[in-house]
Amino acid sequence: MGQTEKTQNRFDAAVGRKLDQLRQQSFGRKIGIILLSIVAALAIGAIFLAVLRVNPLSAYYYLLIRPFRTFSSIGEMSIKLVPILLVGIGVSFTFRAKLSNLGGEGQMCLGAIGMTLIGTSALGQSLGVWSIPVGMAVGALFGALWAGIAGFVKSCFRASEIITTLLLNYIAVQLLSWCVYYPLRDPGGNIPQSAKLAETLPKLFEGSRMNTGILIAIAAVIVYAVVIRRTRFGYRIRVLGGSVPAAEFGGVNRNRYYLIVMMLSGIFTGIAGAVEVAGTQTRLLEGLAGSYGFTGVVASLLGMMHPVGVTLSSILLAALNSGAETMQVKTGVSSLFVNVLEALIVLFILLGMSYISGPRKKRKSKEVAV
């Protein structure tokens, strides 16, 4: 090993230890902010429900407890958990690198289109059960390429990936609509949708809609944990997110990593779209991605981009989204109420994080002045 490489390794290790120390110092505060954000969002939601003359305890029962009561309801929750968790893991990669991927909805649409292209084609018919992994791979590729557009624009032109990914969402949604109205439309159907896939993800249990997509989501969490914590690539992503100058000094090509990380994020969100088609809907439909793109972002923020944290927050958000439909039937409150809660949680988290970093910056500026 040359002297330059030894110096590089020592630098990597030193920066990594410093970043971990900073994260550990603020870990307790972040947990407190997240818990307070959830409580504050639920409290404001309770006030809103009370104004509507709805018992908040009853509404929150359907949102937070009912989804876990029966085996069947857990299965219903699981099919919402899978896309939320996959999108949450995908955007966590970008957040780790100080990027923002708000294009989960569009990348899910492209992943769903890729899965449908394989699953409804003559090739899919001939492949049989193997059409599922092939379709997943194509969906992941489509999602990566779609996210890669934002990464390329960010790397080459310094354009905001937030704006780019949001704009790409609109294009992807319209592209999916065009597909179900024209090239992929079921010729024997009267509504805009594709034909049913030749093969779908098998159910795990009789009497439940839980399918093997949950296993794919669990595998994604493990891959994320290993890549971020156990590989040099993941370590450099963390360094890039901690300090761009330090990362560049250590030999990290910022532009190349921005592109790679965005495409890596797109792989997971593309798989989310493919699983939604192959496991839940069994065909391509308009509005298939729903609000999963935004909810996945909430899951990542709520879980602090930690594998376990993102998983737990995804379970919470899946329960909310699953229980929202029952709440609407039982109490008359629109299921969109859950979107309000999610937005409030994000708002309070951002305010809390700003409060933590604000005093620290002021203290540093005073020390410099002295």
362 pLDDT tier (thresholds 50, 70, 90): low
**Across all residues in the chain, what is the average pLDDT?**
90
Stated pTM of the model: 0.90
Closest CA to 201 of 289, 267, 271: 271
- Percent of the chain that is helix, strand, coil (3-state, to 5): 80, 0, 20
User: How many alpha carbons lie under 13 Å from residue 266 in its C-beta half-sphere?
Assistant: 30
The per-residue b/e assignment along 332-349, b for 16 or more CB within 10 angstroms, e otherwise, is ebebebbbebbebbbebb
Is residue 15 scored above 70 in pLDDT?
A: no
CA distance 347 to 37: 8
Cα radius of gyration (the chain) = 22
Can you tell me which residue has the tokens 């639920």?
42
Helix 232-242, helix 254-275: angle, nearest 10: 110
Residue 86 CA, chain-centre distance (Å), reads 5
CA distance 370 to 354: 24
For 68-85, what is each residue's pLDDT tens digit?
A: 999 999 999 999 999 999
Q: pLDDT over 90 for what percent of the chain?
A: 79
The residue type at 256 = R
pLDDT at 370: 43
139 Cβ contact partners less than 8 Å away, ≥ 6 residues apart: 110, 111, 112, 113, 114, 115, 270, 271, 273, 274, 277
CA distance 61 to 67: 9
Chain length of the chain: 370
User: How many alpha carbons lie under 13 Å from residue 131 in its C-beta half-sphere?
Assistant: 23
pLDDT at 188: 87
